Amino acid sequence: MNAEQRLKVPFASIRPGGSLDLLSQREMAVLAGSDAHVHKLFRQCALAVLNTGEDSDDASEILARYSDFKIQVTPEPRGLKLDMYNAPAHAFVDGNMIEGIRYHLFAALRDVVYIHYKMVDEQRFDLDHGAGITDAVFRILRNAGVVRSNVTPQLIVCWGGHSIPRDEYDYTKEVGYQLGLRGFDIATGCGPGAMKGPMKGAAIGHAKQFRRDGRFVGLTEPDIIASESPNPIVNELVILPDIEKRLEAFVRLAHGIVVFPGGAGTAEEIMYLLGIKMHPDNAQMELPTILAAPHSQAEYFRRMDEFLVAVFGGEVRQYYEICIGDPARLARKLRKRIKRVRSQRKASQESFSFNWGMTIPEDLQHPFIPTHESMGELELRRDRPPHLLLADLRRAFSGIVAGNVKDFGIRAINEHGPYPLSGDADLVASLGRLLDGFVAQGRMKLDASTYRPCFELTGS
């Protein structure tokens, strides 16, 4: 047996934890009878979950390392089980699968199969219109047990990079700690870096306050989870079908948002959020947004602010606040703003657990598939309405994320070269300076030494 084989468990059989512990015979038949596409998707997500805690953001490398991994759903009279072959050994302790990983594994099965069953087999989701997409997001979250009645407004969404230096990670953890001391729950993209730090800090804050029901919600999608396995703190995992529904889930669940420094993915989230907050229908909406960084990384948000002002003018600053250092001050500020969120939701009789009243433009809801053709067709021009320009900027950053870490994007770049992006000369120049900063600071990949830009900018 070679070294690589010793890092795998030849065979394991496990039964459900969490939301799949009671199933009817018909439900089990649906799960066991999933088609080849769904099985491939589930295998990919399952492999990511089994790699929880591993520091890698290369989906193709993970898939290659465990190319002999197999998983199958087996119905039995007493219930469902999963049979696995050549699974990563670090998902087990003394021959038993780690309990959190077991729960996440069945959460992945729940989401992948449920979504396919409702979208394809039953065609119960209307994904052609904005209201139908929002309804689908709600039902996916409800099926996962994330949307709950009679909740207190205390869920803080934290966004930020997966590839960050130690001082930034420690800062995100301290912010999470201060939020946890004040009773806040945390939702992130569930990966490493700025997605793990706030959860770890909040867990300590909850422990100090003797709070045992803390929520650490991880929202992801199949291509992202393949390259960013869940961090070990996540206790509620949801896999949305695509990045757009994942982003909508974040903002409709959030009572406040903290954005830490990151790379292209974080920039995508900022463009998405501004596209919503700058929509006229949301002018009075309370959704506090704080861009937070340690003093050592103050330059990051200076550059981001500079880019946003260059493109949209100084009025864009009313939609976010920049906080440098002082995590306790940030948490106190957020607690004060959350009281206004609660008051507004009560006055409008809006749900605390899912913000139905928020308007999300359909340009931000429909899936964008990054290809060389679709990236080349993006219109990065100043003469467009802000919400349309923000939608295309969001798509541009989404494509860069795909080219950096998603398996299909990496293969496309290797085959055809960098994605083309073009637009007004001054806008493209501003975008280039922002992206150059990401590259110089190692924010594109965990292994910055091997990074090759997956984009090519052209101004006109």
pLDDT in tens, 312-336: 999 999 999 999 999 999 999 999 9
* Tokens of residue 296, six digits: 């050592």
What value does the mean pLDDT take over residues 11-30? 68
The model's confidence at residue 58, banded by pLDDT at 50, 70 and 90, is: low
Mean pLDDT along residues 348-376: 93
Q: Kindly state the DSSP code that residue 186 receives in the 8-state scheme.
A: E
Could you tell me which residues are beta bridge partners of residue 422?
A: 458
Structure confidence at residue 34 (pLDDT): 62
pLDDT tens-place string over residues 65-118: 899 999 988 877 666 788 999 999 999 999 999 999 999 988 888 888 777 777
The residue ranking higher by pLDDT, 35 or 430, is 430
State residue 397's pLDDT score. Answer: 93
Instruction: Read off the pLDDT of residues 132-187 as tens digits, 9 standing for 90 and up.
Output: 999 999 999 998 999 988 788 999 999 998 878 899 999 999 999 999 999 999 99
279-284: average pLDDT: 90
128: which 2 tokens? 């052609």
Rounded to whole angstroms, the Cα distance separating 34 from 72 reads 10
β pairing state of 79-88 and 8-14: antiparallel
Start-end ranges of CATH 3.30.1850.10 in the chain? Answer: 3-109
Can you give the pLDDT at residue 113?
Answer: 76
CATH number corresponding to 3-109: 3.30.1850.10
Please identify, in words, the CATH class of the domain defined by 148-362.
alpha beta
Distances (CA, A) of 390 to 269, 312, 397, 420: 11, 10, 11, 18
8 Å CB contact between 44 and 54: no
Q: What is the pLDDT of residue 174?
A: 98
